[in-house]
Amino acid sequence: MDPSMIPMMIFTVIVLMLIGGFILVLPLTRRLGAFLEHRMLAEDKAGRSADAEALARAVDTLRDEVERLAERQEFTEKLLDRPRTPEP
């Protein structure tokens, strides 16, 4: 056997192993990716509902505060609009 053929045979074996590995592993990784994506979406939906509820509570709180501020501002404007009578 020619000694210069050994590196070519090793290279050929490595290339065949890489191609075979990709052929075997690619479907497994795609399936794993689909599973993880499905799981992540399910967790995201559950998290969104909790986040949406917290956001709705925060908006309600802000709405109440704005209503109270509007009432205070209206009261203050009414006081300032009244004609002042000079004190004797």
Listed by start position, the domains of the chain span 48-80
Q: Please, where are the H alpha helices in 1-88?
A: 5-81
Looking at residue 14, what is its pLDDT? 95
Looking at residue 88, what is its pLDDT? 64
Beta-carbon contacts of 12 under 8 Å, excluding residues fewer than 6 positions away, are: none
Looking at residue 51, what is its pLDDT? 76
pLDDT in tens, the chain (88 residues): 778 899 999 999 999 999 998 898 999 999 999 999 998 888 777 666 777 788 889 999 999 999 999 999 999 999 888 877 776 6
- In total, the chain counts a number of residues equal to 88
Looking at residue 47, what is its pLDDT? 66
Looking at residue 69, what is its pLDDT? 96
